[in-house]
């Protein structure tokens, strides 16, 4: 099955982060393909690629992130090879294998079914193809001695107008693998309120919702996600820090004031699906700097926000969940206790039933205690 993850140890050579039990809540299906698979699937449909070897193709994906227009082109390429049952099945299966190899015990995989209809499949058929791939991948991980569970999050593209249709699709497949709904795509100019009808429908069917917000736009977008989208989690939410005032009077006295949106997100424990490397790549915290050390991650964590750690697009950001935890530990000096908190936050915020979330929390606690 060809799934081997690079191993990351705690900085200084401590415990293996890779083998610790982890939860991935924000991971795009069309952002996590293996380069070799893209080459083979493209060949099967006669699609020309910008590079012919897996290594060169991986470089091409990683280099495109500096301009948003170029970055979005990389998704045109990955979605192009995910337009058939075979392509969707294979990509989903390998995605789960790769998460399993990285020590993920529960993952929510998000993707936008409406982007996969070019070759004639229906919305229901693409969701079924991905679900079959996921189930095959879960079987592969278990056959290899691992353990993993996966839920699908279906995303509606926020600049298009299929929100209600995708919300209905999510509800229709809720007992066949779909655990929640998301909106993705350009954030600025396309507030959650455009999808109000979809969010009302989801709320009336008690279907969980996460909303990309506070990544490419600010507090108003986050407020819209919470009010119009009734978001239970925020996709990234990095720019919630715009609603936090920190006044450092001297070394001993720092005063922090939260605005109403930040206060709500903190007090209601609305999870922030932070994705450190992706947030660096897309300049989502540019007002505080452009390096990971400038990311408001640590401020949010220290203030008690429910921070979770995610990969967003493993291919484009050339990363894994273990690598994200490693770079955070390296940058902010976190130890295993901190890393365990991030995983327990993710367990508590997943869209699974309560008993399942408690079981995940127990698995994480046991795994970290044995590290």
Angle, helices 123-143/85-101, rounded to nearest 10 degrees: 40
Q: How far apart are CA 52 and CA 75, in angstroms?
A: 18
CB of 110 to Zn ion, least distance (A): 7
Taking CB under 5 A as the binding criterion, the range among 43-51, 76-84, 305-313, 314-322 that sits at the site for Zn ion is: 305-313
Q: Which is nearer to Zn ion, 212 or 357 (by Cβ)?
A: 212
Q: Is 215 a catalytic residue?
A: yes
The pairing of strands 244-250 and 253-258 is antiparallel
The owner of tokens 């605005």 is 259
How many amino acids of this chain bind Zn ion (CB under 5 A)?
1
Q: Which is nearer to Zn ion, 39 or 229 (by Cβ)?
A: 229
Taking CB under 5 A as the binding criterion, the range among 114-122, 165-173, 191-199, 308-316 that sits at the site for Zn ion is: 308-316
Q: What are the backbone angles phi and psi of residue 81, rounded to the nearest 5°?
A: -95, 5
For 289, the token pair is: 């700097």
For 82, the token pair is: 């995910």
CB of 236 to Zn ion, least distance (A): 7
The owner of tokens 């399942």 is 356
Taking CB under 5 A as the binding criterion, the range among 56-64, 154-162, 309-317, 363-371 that sits at the site for Zn ion is: 309-317
Q: How far apart are CA 146 and CA 149, in angstroms?
A: 10
Binding letters toward Zn ion, positions 65-94, x by CB under 5 A: ------------------------------
Taking CB under 5 A as the binding criterion, the range among 34-42, 101-109, 307-315, 335-343 that sits at the site for Zn ion is: 307-315
CB of 102 to Zn ion, least distance (A): 18
Q: How far apart are CA 244 and CA 255, in angstroms?
A: 10
Residue 264 CB: number of other CB atoms within 10 A? 17
Q: How far apart are CA 86 and CA 98, in angstroms?
A: 18
The residue from 215, 242, 273, 324 that is catalytic is: 215
| Angle formed at CA 19 by CA 18 and CA 24, multiple of 5 degrees | 65
Sequence-ordered list of residues with C-beta below 8 angstroms from that of 330, at least 6 positions apart, any chain: 11
Using CA atoms of 105, 110, 116, 117 in order, give the dihedral in degrees to the nearest 10.
110
Of 364, 34, 29, 311, the C-alpha closest to 178 is 29
Q: Which is nearer to Zn ion, 90 or 236 (by Cβ)?
A: 236
SS3 of residue 17 by DSSP: coil
Q: Which is nearer to Zn ion, 317 or 322 (by Cβ)?
A: 317
Q: Which is nearer to Zn ion, 88 or 316 (by Cβ)?
A: 316
Q: Which is nearer to Zn ion, 20 or 222 (by Cβ)?
A: 222
CB of 121 to Zn ion, least distance (A): 23
Residues 312-341 that bind Zn ion (CB under 5 A): 312
Write the DSSP assignment of 258-275 as a string of letters: E-HHHHHHHHTTPEEEE-
Of 119, 118, 130, 120, the C-alpha closest to 155 is 130
Binding letters toward Zn ion, positions 45-64, x by CB under 5 A: --------------------
Q: Which is nearer to Zn ion, 198 or 234 (by Cβ)?
A: 234
Give the N- to C-terminal CA distance of the chain in Å, as an integer: 27
312, β-bridge pairs: 27
Report the catalytic residues.
215
Q: Interface residues with Zn ion (CB under 5 A)? A: 312
């Amino acid at each position: 099955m060809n799934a081997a993850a690079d191993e990351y140890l705690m900085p200084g050579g401590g415990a293996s982060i890779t083998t610790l039990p982890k939860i991935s809540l924000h991971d795009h299906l069309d952002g996590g393909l293996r380069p070799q698979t893209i080459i083979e699937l493209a060949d099967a449909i006669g699609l020309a690629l910008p590079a012919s070897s897996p290594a060169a193709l991986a470089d091409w994906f990683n280099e495109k992130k500096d301009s948003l227009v170029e970055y979005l082109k990389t998704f045109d390429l990955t979605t192009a090879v995910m337009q058939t049952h075979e392509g969707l099945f294979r990509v989903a299966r390998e995605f789960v294998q790769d998460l399993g190899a990285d020590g993920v015990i529960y993952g929510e995989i998000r993707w936008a079914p409406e982007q996969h209809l070019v070759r004639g499949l229906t919305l229901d058929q693409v969701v079924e193809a991905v679900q079959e791939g996921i189930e095959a991948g879960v079987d592969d991980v278990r056959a290899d001695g691992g353990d993993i569970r996966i839920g699908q999050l279906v995303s509606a593209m926020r600049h298009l107008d299929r929100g209600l249709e995708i919300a209905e699709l999510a509800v229709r497949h809720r007992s066949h693998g779909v655990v929640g709904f998301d909106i993705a795509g350009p954030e600025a100019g396309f507030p959650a309120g455009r999808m109000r009808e979809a969010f009302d429908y989801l709320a009336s069917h008690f279907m969980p919702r996460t909303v990309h917000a506070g990544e490419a736009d600010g507090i108003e977008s986050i407020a819209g996600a919470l009010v119009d989208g009734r978001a239970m989690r925020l996709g990234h939410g990095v720019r919630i820090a715009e609603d936090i005032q920190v006044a450092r009077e001297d070394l001993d006295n720092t005063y922090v004031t939260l605005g109403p949106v930040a206060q709500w997100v903190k007090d209601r424990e609305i999870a922030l699906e932070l994705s450190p490397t992706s947030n660096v790549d897309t300049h989502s915290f540019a007002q505080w700097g452009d390096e990971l050390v400038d990311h408001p991650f640590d401020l949010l964590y220290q203030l008690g926000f429910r921070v979770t750690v995610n990969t967003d697009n493993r291919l484009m950001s050339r990363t894994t969940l273990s690598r994200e935890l490693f770079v955070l530990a390296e940058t902010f000096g976190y130890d295993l206790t901190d890393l365990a908190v991030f995983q327990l936050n993710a367990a508590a915020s997943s869209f699974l039933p309560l008993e399942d979330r408690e079981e995940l929390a127990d698995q994480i606690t046991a795994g970290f205690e044995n590290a």
